[in-house]
Structure 1
Amino acid sequence: MRGKLETLAMVLGFVGLVGTVVATAMPMWRVSAFIGANIIVMETIWEGLWMTCAYQTDIRMQCRQYYSWLILPPEMQAARVLMCVSVILAFFAVLVAGCGVRSTNCCKDNERGKNIVLVVGACMFLLSCLCTMIPVAWTTHTIIWNFYNPEVIDAEKHEIGAAIYVGWATCGVLLAAGVILICRYCPRQQKEEGVYYAPTSAERQSMVHLERKSNGSFKTMQYV
């Protein structure tokens, strides 16, 4: 059962890695909203971290990369950097944590080192979750705030895109992977160090009685 939990954590970690890559590459972070005077539904504008795409009915989707990083809003600039960091952390977390699980032969002779490798991988999963959560939450807040802000014109309002939902799901998967590995580290560390239990008063008296009895029998054997 314990090995199955570690295997489950590794599967979740790999799914989280794929989720971060997909969310980073998807252009559907912000989608044009059709409200008020903006009733042109023949064309949908998608805005991502790397490009903007226009999808027209019965016409192939056309995408254009951003020519300058500075034209992006602040939340999108932060999202581009943090999502790239999240992908790197998730990738190395899968490699590091994979060396720390029981089913691998890496560090098999060094139990303490294997446990440390496991907890390092778990922390990297949690850091990757944090790096994904910050841009996703920031972008979600900005989209909702502008959507209900009466000072923002209808043409500049957006809706939450599919990449945001993928990002939220990825955060949950990475968090679950990190928590499971940390929970597995605690019993493994206790087993490695050993847990010392102080004897009770009754146990101490029993030990003293056995010691006296053994000493008395030893003296009797000497006389014989």
Structure 2
Amino acid sequence: MATTGLQVLGVLLAVAGWVGGALVTAAPFWRVSAFVGGELVVAEAQWEGLWMSCLVRSSTGHTQCKTFDSGLALAPSTQARRTLAVVALLLGVLGLGLSVLGLKCTHCLGSAHDSKARLARLGGLVFVAAALMFLVPVCWTAHMVVRDFYDPAVAAPLKRELGPALYLGWFVALLMLVGGALINAGSAPPPGGGGGGEEATAGGFFGGGKGNPQPTPPAGKKEKAYV
């Protein structure tokens, strides 16, 4: 049955995951410098993201960030990861709209409980799809970092380590995934199936409704009293 508490909790978790996903997408901490051997200058650290790269000088604490000049000049893998992250965030916006319209505690669609439950379940599925899509660029980047780190053909100054944005990306994707699942669980149909659950319940508790009239004794006959 539609449970308002589960629906609201799912929406809150999914929205928190979406907000975190937006921050992760814009953050430059996807890949950080790996200090391997003595070939790197430890006075400088480099951060790289999907949209910009930053250079941090430990001696002065100065950080200089620069966005990538041209998106078309980037590597195809970076363009694909950008696209997947942005599409995942757009799916999150769509899932939020569907979920809010389908919440049991909202009155956007009146009292059409079945339609609202279907909308809420669709919003939950969209959030699950957004979470899975957001995992793709995060896991893709982690795979590239680990592969290049252990590749002897890659020079030490070009090696990178997993940045904090990747760990946060896994966490926010999990939030969206759990949020979408809770929205679906809170919008599940009643075990007996079919609509009109509230009317049937009311009829059962109060001795039948319009579709179940009580029999009346024929005129002129008295009911027998039983002791």
TM-score range, shorter chain: 0.7 to 0.9
For 1:150 and 1:82, locate their aligned partners in 2 and report how far apart those are by CA, in whole Å.
Answer: 30
Normalising by structure 1, report the TM-score.
Answer: 0.81
Normalising by structure 2, report the TM-score.
Answer: 0.80
Verify: 1:110 aligned to 2:112, yes or no.
yes
For 1:52 and 1:31, locate their aligned partners in 2 and report how far apart those are by CA, in whole Å.
Answer: 10
Verify: 1:168 aligned to 2:170, yes or no.
yes
Aligned partner (choices 180, 183, 187) of residue 182 of structure 2 = 180
Match of residue 77 from structure 1: 79
> Which string of whole-angstrom CA distances, capped at 9 and with x for unpartnered residues, describes residues 166-215 of structure 1?
110011001101111222232358554379xxxxxxxxxxxxxxxxxxxx
**Count, aligned residues:** 199
Contact 1:36/1:154 (CA < 8 Å) preserved in 2?
Answer: yes
Matched ranges for 1:113-128 at <5 A: 113-128=115-130
Matched residue type, 1:146: D
For 1:100 and 1:121, locate their aligned partners in 2 and report how far apart those are by CA, in whole Å.
Answer: 8
Identity percentage over the alignment?
A: 32
Distance 1:14 1:190, change over 3 A: farther
Which structure shows the higher helix fraction?
1
Distance 1:145 1:190, change over 3 A: farther
Distance 1:43 1:71, change over 3 A: farther
Matched residue type, 1:178: G
Distance 1:24 1:45, change over 3 A: same
* Structure 2 unpaired stretches of 5+: 198-217, 222-227
For 2:69 and 2:190, locate their aligned partners in 1 and report how far apart those are by CA, in whole Å.
Answer: 51
For 1:190 and 1:166, locate their aligned partners in 2 and report how far apart those are by CA, in whole Å.
Answer: 41
SS in 2 for 1:186: coil
Match of residue 205 from structure 2: none
Cα offset, 1:70, TM superposition: 4.1
For 2:140 and 2:29, locate their aligned partners in 1 and report how far apart those are by CA, in whole Å.
Answer: 15
Considering Cα pairs closer than 8 Å and 6+ residues apart, tell me whether 1 or 2 has the greater RCO.
2
Contact 2:4/2:186 (CA < 8 Å) preserved in 1?
Answer: no
SS in 2 for 1:69: coil
Q: Which moved more, 1:181-190 or 1:40-49?
A: 181-190
* Structure 1 unpaired stretches of 5+: 196-217
Match of residue 129 from structure 1: 131
Matched residue type, 1:24: T
Matched residue type, 1:105: H
Distance 1:94 1:103, change over 3 A: same
Q: Which runs of at least 4 in structure 1 moved beyond 4 Å after TM superposition?
A: 188-192
Cα offset, 1:123, TM superposition: 1.4
For 1:27 and 1:190, locate their aligned partners in 2 and report how far apart those are by CA, in whole Å.
Answer: 51
Match of residue 213 from structure 2: none
For 1:169 and 1:33, locate their aligned partners in 2 and report how far apart those are by CA, in whole Å.
Answer: 23
Contact 2:33/2:45 (CA < 8 Å) preserved in 1?
Answer: yes
